[in-house]
Structure 1
Amino acid sequence: MTGGVVFDPLLPWPLIATLGLVALIGVTLALWRGLSGWALRALAAIALLGALAGPVYRVEDRKPLSDIVVMVEDASASQNLSDRPAQMQAAAEALAAEIEARPHTELRRVTVPDGAGDEGTRLLETLAEALAEEPQGRIAGIIALSDGRVHDIDRAPPLPAPLHLLLTGRESDWDRRLIVTNAPAFAIIGEPVILTLRVEDSGAVPQTANIAPLEISVDGGAAQRFEIPTGRDIDLPLTLPHGGRNVIQFTVPEAEGEITARNNTALVQINGVRDRLRVLLVSGEPHAGGRIWRNLLKSDSSVDLVHFTILRPPDKQDGVPVDELSLIAFPTRELFLEKIDDFDLIIFDRYKRRGILPASYLENVANYVRQGGAVLVAAGPDFASADSIWRSPLGAILPAEPSARVIEQPYHPALTDLGQRHPVTADLQGEENWGSWLRQIEIETTSGDVLMQGVEDRPLLILDRVEQGRVALLASDQAWLWNRGFEGGGPQLDLLRRLAHWMMKEPELEEETLWAEATGQRMRIVRRSLGDEVGAVTVTRPDGKTLDLALEQVAPGRFEALYDGPEIGLYRLQEGDQKTVIGLGPAAPREFEQTIATGEVMEPLIAPTRGGILRLEEGLPRLREVRAGRPAAGRGWIGLTPRDAYETRDVRQTPLLPAWAMLLLAAGLITGGWLREGRR
């Protein structure tokens, strides 16, 4: 029970003050004029003003409230390093027991989990949410058990009490970190691209740790090893091995005594693009579809096209002097001997042996294919003749032989069962509405995959691999009818472009391949195969654990599965002999960018509250009570500020000056003053 005098005015205080000023002026005037009743008038004014002020005696029934201490326990990923979990657990339990044993004190324990995605440690957001649920007037202190590596210092709430940071970890800790400071998103295949790396040591670094080994692997392949200095940027030239996505992993092996190796790996994903695709197009006799290939290849800005049309073969004798012709000689030696390796693709469009290319040159083309080149033959009636290029050294690499029959009748090109699965033809739409072709060369398949068929299901389009190279044979010269819209036309542009890109080994058109597409922490695993079934994909997580994931067929030749990666890092995928890698987020999460415990990050927040930063390895600090505004931490101790908060249960008020009594008193004093002045 507590009591005291308080005021409950009948009028607003400004009005009471105005009346008091008027009364003071009146009493002063009476005194100046020498009126003998001025003192009684002054007492009457005081009595009236006192009555208006309403003094009461208030008695409160109060219940003391306990102080609240908030203890924030950092359970983020970086707190799992070394012996920090045991260190923090022991300190938290000891502090909790001591705080709960203090009289009139309650403890609120708050745990800080890992931030969603790669947000890092959100300690201050968690603290703000905890403080919002408690009365600010009862908070006696805030104790944070953490390594100090918080990532939301800009979200700090107003602190009603001293904040103390008890650091986990040890002063002898040291860590090595690999950083990629510069990496392009795209690079040209075959040309070096410069990546900038840095190996950075922090903490109590050993004096001998000034050179670090570096391992580099592409798409999970064999690693190359180098020695690089620490503490400075290193420019590293790298040449991409193939087009499409190249996943490059840089790893620094874990050093002795290092606190963690989670930040010793960096992932870089670079898309490999070709600078210019060089294509050689050799056309035989001019025909209606002769410009189809030229227009197709010239429409692609990434293609350099060299096109020769043989308009005047050697056997043509028309009597016109050579020096009067505007034609140029076919540079056979330069193209087929000296510079053949400069081309990514050679196309023979209705070409036949005419004495221009000797057998040795065509043998060189066959060797060019075997060593990784590509040849496409668009066959016309010449392919079925005695001068067919099949009857040359090129016949050894072609996937079919002609029967010498040319079929002249309308037919609808159609996809075979294999063609519906092959990436070159699988996505061609509207097969039932395709227009007719009018000519097909009868051939007998000797190797390769038949993707399209024509008259009476005879082979129309065949793709084949010859050692390291690729060969395609189109047994018709009527594809141009689709381009002209004959009977509704067809996907001529898509077909020929995909065909050319498959021959130039574009990764997205491979028949047997495995890849993954990432969206956040979810990946879509895609397996393309010409087979009817595929096995389960083995997913190897960054921590080394594996998982077998079944694939579901979503389209002919395409199998997919969705997988949510539980952590950030490099995932390895394998199904049969198909392998790939994919990175989810950075290889080193934000939690492991800086791992050495420090109070520097939170010091600007702690200093204004006069709290302290102490290391747990030096011992558990003692708890003291300190007054508000005084230093709240010292060597081996931290302070709590008692709040003396209470809850008011009941209030009773007794007026000290009843209005009627004060009114009678004031009337009597005024009357007395008047009488005294009248006697005078």
Structure 2
Amino acid sequence: MTSDIVFDPLLPWALIVALAVLALAGTALALWRGLSGWALRGLAGLVLVGALAQPSWQVEDRAPLSDIVLMVVDQSASQRLAERAGVTEDAADQLEAMLTARPNTETRRIPVGDADGDGGTRLMSALSAAMAEEPRGRIAGIFLLSDGRLHDLEQAPDLPAPLHLLMTGQDTDWDRRLIVRNAPAFAILGEEVELTLRIEDDGAAPGASQTPILISVDGEPPQTFTVPIGQDLTLPITLPHGGLNVIQFTVPEADGELTDRNNTALVQINGVRDRLRVLLVSGEPHAGGRTWRNLLKSDSSVDLVHFTILRPPEKQDGVPVNELSLIAFPTRELFLEKIDDFDLIIFDRYKRRGILPAIYLDNVRNYVENGGAVLVAAGPDFASADSIYRSPLAEIMPAEPTARVVEEGYRPTVTDLGQRHPVTAGLQGADDWGRWLRQIEVEPLQGDVVMSGVDDRPLLILDRVGEGRVALLASDQAWLWNRGFEGGGPQMELLRRLAHWMMKEPQLEEEALWAEPNGQTMRIIRRSLTDDVGAVTVTGPDGSEVQVPLTEVTPGRFEAVYDGPEIGLYRLAEGDLTSVVGLGPAAPREFVQTIASGEALEPLIDTMRGGVLRLQEGVPTVRTVRAGRPAAGRGWIGITPREAYETLDVRQTPLLPAWLVLLLASAMIIGAWLREGRT
């Protein structure tokens, strides 16, 4: 029980002070004028001013509250290295027992694990949340049992009591880690890209100057090199293929090293082509010729060489041959010497005129069989005796002309197979596409018919020949879509997909398997022309295998979402198809720095004069210290009692009741009047 005098003024204190000054002035005036009742006047003013301040005698019944000590226990991944987990739990148990034995003290034990994703150790976030649940005036001390490696120091709260770090780990610990300083997300095929790596030893390292490093691309057998420690390494790498390339760097674990979790780095780089080199061969000027040219030139990544025949030999208009071009067109150079420099050759309404000898066209056939790509946009001449089909190119053509040209309007349609083929799958709005007005009738010999025209006749046929690819478009009317005839159609998208399929873009393969990583989750994607595919075998970093069934989400596209149990390189296999993908960083934030240190926390600890002590020297004792005094020393840590209490009952008794104020003030005023009246 405690008692005290409290005030509950009827008026603002400033006004009460002003009235007191006025009363004092009146008393001083009475004294100066020699009035005998000046003392009674002053006492009356004092009573009235005191009544306005309304003093009371307050009696409180209080119940003391216990002090609270917050004990944050770090259980993150870095705390599971060596013997840290066991040391931490033993120390937490001993400290909790010490605090429980102290009078008027409670303990709040707060375990903190790994944050979601790669968030690391969030000690300060956990401490802030715990402090929000406790009265700030009762917190007497905060203990952190950790290796000192946290990743949210900026979330540190304002401390009401001393903070102590009881640090795990040994002063003899050392660790070797692999750091990727520079790795681009994209690289141009055929050009070297430089990666910058660094291998560092932290802690009480043995002082080695070199170490072996293993480099593997897409899960292939690794190559071993010897590299220096503590120096930046610049490695030139040329990507082997387009699409995702997964490069793994690994440093073997050394004797006595704290962990090998930061000895591996995964770099995922997308291989892209610098420029698409296209040779466009136009047989004669026509309405679609400029459309092809404009379409290709509109893409800044396309280098276009356009070979066109402006005047056929049978046309005699009197123009000298030397005035038809500025220079002689280098046909021999293009079709014999430089043909392998092109990624795609397009024959647009070309027919045999004797301008390109058979040996040139035979070289085009060899170009395709050795990995090149040819697209034929057929016009009426494809059905004639001068058809390009009646040349060495016939051996690679997927269809044979019947010599019939269908002259009627029709809407191009994606076939059932085309709905599954990556070139035409998902092309929207077929019912609203504009009509084409001509189609060359052909008989398919091989390949895949992905679009049809009049009476379901083949319109677009795709085929693989040797190492290369061939596409036959049995119409010269695609330009109508570009002109917006009857609403037009997806000519740009169709041509883009055609070009990338012919250039063997991995994600446009008819049979393909790949995965799209997102953190520690991957979306497995399988593309196929068949109606059903098997389960994908996922091999984890530890060698364990899991069968993941796929679900068809769109025609020809099967997907599944798989959560990787750990971070690292995963291998995917289904039938003859294989792929690799890396989930998350190879070295999570928890293993970037593993040597125990209190350096990051020292500025925060110093604000309340706490301490950093190693648990390898034993669990410190707990002492009581006054606020503002040093709260840590050799073998001990301190807490500050808060002397908090709970008020159970409050009673107030007015020191100047109204009747007493009226009686005293009236008596003194009347007394002063009577005294002054007798003089």
- Residue in 2 aligned with 1:423? 422
CA shift, 1:632, in A, is 0.8
- Residue in 2 aligned with 1:368? 367
Q: Distance in 1 between matches of 2:364 and 2:379?
A: 20
Q: Distance in 1 between matches of 2:39 and 2:289?
A: 127
- Residue in 2 aligned with 1:590? 589
- Residue in 2 aligned with 1:133? 133
Distance 1:604 1:545, change over 3 A: farther
CA shift, 1:27, in A, is 7.7
- Residue in 1 aligned with 2:118? 118
Which is worse superposed, 101-110 or 213-222? 213-222
Q: Distance in 1 between matches of 2:310 and 2:41?
A: 134
Is 1:178 aligned to 2:159, yes or no?
no
CA shift, 1:614, in A, is 0.7
Q: Distance in 1 between matches of 2:552 and 2:207?
A: 57
SS at match of 2:600: coil
- Residue in 2 aligned with 1:108? 108
Q: Distance in 2 between matches of 1:352 and 1:193?
A: 44
Q: Distance in 1 between matches of 2:576 and 2:80?
A: 37
Does the CA-based 8 Å contact 1:61-1:650 persist in structure 2?
yes
State the number of aligned residues.
676
Using the aligned pairs only, state the percent identity.
71
Query: What CA deviation, in whole Å up to 9, does each residue of 1:411-461 have, x standing for no partner?
Result: 74443332221111223334445524434243350x322223445555443
Which is worse superposed, 392-401 or 59-68? 392-401
Does the CA-based 8 Å contact 1:411-1:454 persist in structure 2?
no
CA shift, 1:622, in A, is 0.7
Is 1:615 aligned to 2:617, yes or no?
no
Does the CA-based 8 Å contact 1:436-1:487 persist in structure 2?
no
Distance 1:153 1:479, change over 3 A: closer
- Residue in 2 aligned with 1:410? 408
Does the CA-based 8 Å contact 1:538-1:548 persist in structure 2?
yes
Does the CA-based 8 Å contact 2:626-2:640 persist in structure 1?
yes
Does the CA-based 8 Å contact 1:71-1:144 persist in structure 2?
yes
SS at match of 1:117: coil
- Residue in 2 aligned with 1:201? 201
- Residue in 1 aligned with 2:161? 161
Q: Distance in 2 between matches of 1:212 and 1:630?
A: 50
CA shift, 1:610, in A, is 0.9
Does the CA-based 8 Å contact 1:441-1:476 persist in structure 2?
no
- Residue in 2 aligned with 1:643? 642
Q: Distance in 2 between matches of 1:651 and 1:374?
A: 94
SS at match of 1:395: helix
Q: Distance in 2 between matches of 1:233 and 1:536?
A: 43
Q: How does 1:200-279 map to 2 (within 5 A)?
A: 200-208=200-208, 210-279=209-278
Q: How does 1:13-412 map to 2 (within 5 A)?
A: 59-208=59-208, 210-311=209-310, 322-323=321-322, 326=325, 328-384=327-383, 387-402=386-401, 405-410=403-408, 412=410
Q: Distance in 1 between matches of 2:390 and 2:268?
A: 47
- Residue in 1 aligned with 2:531? 532
Q: Distance in 2 between matches of 1:40 and 1:317?
A: 139
Does the CA-based 8 Å contact 2:439-2:459 persist in structure 1?
no
- Residue in 1 aligned with 2:460? 461
Q: Distance in 2 between matches of 1:31 and 1:136?
A: 55
SS at match of 1:609: coil
Q: Distance in 2 between matches of 1:353 and 1:344?
A: 23
SS at match of 2:428: coil
CA shift, 1:364, in A, is 2.8
One-letter amino acid of the counterpart of residue 72, structure 1: V
CA shift, 1:651, in A, is 4.0
Distance 1:664 1:529, change over 3 A: closer
- Residue in 1 aligned with 2:471? 472
One-letter amino acid of the counterpart of residue 640, structure 2: T
Does the CA-based 8 Å contact 1:526-1:561 persist in structure 2?
yes
CA shift, 1:372, in A, is 1.6
- Residue in 1 aligned with 2:628? 629
SS at match of 1:78: helix
SS at match of 1:594: coil
CA shift, 1:306, in A, is 1.3
CA shift, 1:87, in A, is 1.5
Q: Distance in 2 between matches of 1:326 and 1:56?
A: 113
TM-score using structure 1 length? 0.86
Query: What CA deviation, in whole Å up to 9, does each residue of 1:304-326 have, x standing for no partner?
Result: 11122235667888997655654
CA shift, 1:558, in A, is 1.4
Does the CA-based 8 Å contact 2:626-2:641 persist in structure 1?
yes
Q: Distance in 2 between matches of 1:457 and 1:144?
A: 75
Query: What CA deviation, in whole Å up to 9, does each residue of 1:496-541 have, x standing for no partner?
Result: 4432332122333221112334556654332211111112233445
Distance 1:138 1:392, change over 3 A: same
Q: Distance in 2 between matches of 1:521 and 1:321?
A: 70
CA shift, 1:485, in A, is 5.8
Q: Distance in 1 between matches of 2:49 and 2:492?
A: 102
Q: Distance in 2 between matches of 1:317 and 1:152?
A: 83
Which is worse superposed, 21-30 or 648-657? 21-30
Does the CA-based 8 Å contact 2:399-2:442 persist in structure 1?
no
Q: Distance in 1 between matches of 2:663 and 2:633?
A: 64
Distance 1:31 1:296, change over 3 A: closer
Q: Distance in 1 between matches of 2:305 and 2:86?
A: 71
Is 1:499 aligned to 2:475, yes or no?
no
CA shift, 1:672, in A, is 9.1
Query: What CA deviation, in whole Å up to 9, does each residue of 1:363-415 have, x standing for no partner?
Result: 33232222221122334454455554444443333334455x33444374443
One-letter amino acid of the counterpart of residue 467, structure 1: G
Q: Distance in 2 between matches of 1:11 and 1:500?
A: 90
SS at match of 2:334: helix
Show structure 1 runs of 5+ residues with no match.
none
Q: Distance in 2 between matches of 1:394 and 1:357?
A: 12
Distance 1:444 1:618, change over 3 A: same
One-letter amino acid of the counterpart of residue 410, structure 1: E
- Residue in 1 aligned with 2:602? 603
Distance 1:42 1:484, change over 3 A: closer
Distance 1:428 1:640, change over 3 A: closer
Distance 1:513 1:679, change over 3 A: same
Q: Distance in 2 between matches of 1:97 and 1:327?
A: 97
Q: Distance in 2 between matches of 1:221 and 1:607?
A: 52
Distance 1:641 1:19, change over 3 A: same
Which is worse superposed, 41-50 or 501-510? 41-50
Distance 1:425 1:32, change over 3 A: closer
One-letter amino acid of the counterpart of residue 631, structure 2: A
CA shift, 1:542, in A, is 5.4
One-letter amino acid of the counterpart of residue 338, structure 1: E
Q: Distance in 2 between matches of 1:92 and 1:135?
A: 23
Distance 1:39 1:335, change over 3 A: closer
Does the CA-based 8 Å contact 1:37-1:677 persist in structure 2?
yes
CA shift, 1:578, in A, is 2.8
Query: What CA deviation, in whole Å up to 9, does each residue of 1:323-372 have, x standing for no partner?
Result: 56547544232112221111111223343444444444333323222222
Q: Distance in 2 between matches of 1:221 and 1:15?
A: 89
Query: What CA deviation, in whole Å up to 9, does each residue of 1:225-244 have, x standing for no partner?
Result: 33332323222222223333
Q: Distance in 1 between matches of 2:123 and 2:85?
A: 16
Q: Distance in 1 between matches of 2:574 and 2:236?
A: 32
CA shift, 1:556, in A, is 1.5
TM-score using structure 2 length? 0.86
Q: How does 1:478-497 map to 2 (within 5 A)?
A: 478-483=477-482, 490-497=489-496
One-letter amino acid of the counterpart of residue 279, structure 1: V
Does the CA-based 8 Å contact 1:195-1:238 persist in structure 2?
yes
Query: What CA deviation, in whole Å up to 9, does each residue of 1:103-152 have, x standing for no partner?
Result: 11111111223333333222112212211222222211111111212222
One-letter amino acid of the counterpart of residue 467, structure 2: Q
Query: What CA deviation, in whole Å up to 9, does each residue of 1:565-617 have, x standing for no partner?
Result: 56655544333333334445433333332222111111111101111111111
SS at match of 1:237: strand
One-letter amino acid of the counterpart of residue 174, structure 1: W
Show structure 2 runs of 5+ residues with no match.
none
Does the CA-based 8 Å contact 1:5-1:55 persist in structure 2?
no
